[in-house]
């Protein structure tokens, strides 16, 4: 350092060093200016960070699809009726389960040639845990007895097996919603596969909607059709007959048609 430099005061010496470009003290470790420059260039070239937005909530449509998928997986894994009932009990996607007292699964003999599919449990069914009890159930038993069939029959030729589209009672006995029918249908289809009946009886509009994709029981009843590779006969629901006694004539004709079909397809 020159002699003139020594004559400057401390502040003047500092100002002189800043003016000459000395803007920081000497460090004990060397500074890699090239690395600093490269990092600065990369930082400027990187795209700006965007704060993550809210996760979209599932729509009603995707929730319904998830419920149907879960129903297919659970029902498809069941290899016995006991396993299918347990799968239904474990199904958590149907809100009807939370308001119902009982899971109404079936009644009658699984070996029966005739399987009756009703609509949904009512108050009496919810209390007893069996389908078709109360006034409608008693009328159904009289109807079946008139053609020598019954849920308590000991042999398969005279026995019937009974279930519903929905295993839980809807509030105030309202009609099931389309999404409720859709999520329960895989269980019903698996139920039919495991029982293996010769004939199906679809009682009421809801059963026809679920299994045939059609409503209008007054037009559908009495005409044999097919579903799940089996003959199926739409019939009036006994509860409808209680409200409309004049329709019992058509119901009797349907019962005679069922009896004749059983004779035609009698097992060897």
Which stretches of the chain drop beneath a pLDDT of 70?
1-11, 13-59, 267-268
Res 53: pLDDT: 59
Q: State the DSSP H helix or E strand holding residue 61, giving kind and residue range, or none if neither.
A: helix 60-77
In the prediction, which pLDDT does 78 show?
98
Predicted local confidence at residue 126, as pLDDT: 97
**Cα separations in angstroms, 57 against 61, 103, 183:** 11, 31, 21
Range 61-264 has CATH code 3.40.50.1820: no
Predicted confidence at residue 14, as pLDDT, reads 62
161 three-state secondary structure: strand
Q: What does the radius of gyration of the chain's CA atoms come to, in whole angstroms?
A: 38
Give me the pLDDT at residue 30, please.
61
Q: Find where tokens 């003999």 sit.
A: 109
Name which of 182, 176, 183 is nearest 88 in CA terms: 183
Q: What is the pLDDT of residue 48?
A: 60
**Predicted structure pTM score:** 0.77
Q: Give strand ranges (E) for 197-266.
A: 199-203, 225-227, 230-235
pLDDT of res. 143 = 98
- pLDDT tens figures, 74-119: 999 999 999 999 999 999 999 999 999 999 999 999 999 999 999 9
Q: Compute CA distances 248 → 56, 72, 135, 148, 218, whole Å.
A: 53, 37, 15, 18, 12
pLDDT digits (tens, 9 = 90+) for 208-234: 999 999 999 999 999 999 999 999 999
230: phi then psi, degrees, rounded to nearest 5: -140, 150
Residues 2, 125: Cα–Cα separation, whole Å: 110
Q: What residues does each domain of the chain span?
A: 61-264
Residue 223 to residue 232: CA distance in whole angstroms = 9
**Predicted pLDDT of residue 64:** 83
Give backbone dihedrals phi and psi of 189, rounded to 5 degrees, phi first.
Answer: -60, -45
């Amino acid at each position: 350092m020159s002699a003139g430099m020594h004559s400057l005061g401390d502040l003047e010496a500092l100002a002189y060093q800043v003016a000459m470009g000395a803007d920081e003290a000497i460090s004990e470790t060397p500074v890699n200016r090239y690395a600093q420059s490269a990092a600065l260039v990369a930082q400027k070239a990187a795209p700006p960070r965007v704060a993550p937005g809210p996760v979209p909530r599932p729509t009603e449509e995707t929730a319904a699809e998830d419920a149907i998928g879960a129903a297919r997986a659970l029902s498809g894994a069941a290899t016995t009726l006991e396993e299918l009932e347990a799968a239904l009990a474990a199904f958590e996607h149907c809100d009807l389960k939370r308001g119902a007292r009982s899971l109404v699964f079936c009644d009658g003999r699984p070996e029966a040639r005739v399987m009756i599919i009703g609509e949904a449990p009512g108050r009496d069914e919810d209390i007893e845990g069996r389908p078709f009890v109360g006034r409608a159930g008693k009328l159904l038993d009289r109807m079946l007895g008139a053609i020598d069939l019954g849920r308590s029959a000991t042999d398969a030729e005279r026995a019937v097996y009974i279930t519903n589209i929905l295993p839980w009672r809807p509030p105030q006995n309202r009609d099931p919603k389309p999404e409720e029918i859709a999520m329960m249908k895989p269980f019903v289809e698996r139920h039919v596969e495991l029982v293996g009946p010769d004939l199906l009886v679809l009682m009421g509009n809801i059963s026809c909607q679920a299994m045939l994709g059609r409503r209008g029981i007054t037009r559908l009843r009495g005409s044999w059709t097919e579903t799940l590779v089996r003959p199926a006969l739409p019939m009036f629901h006994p509860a409808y007959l209680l409200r409309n006694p004049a329709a019992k004539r058509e119901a009797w004709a349907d019962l005679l048609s069922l009896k004749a079909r059983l004779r035609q397809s009698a097992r060897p």
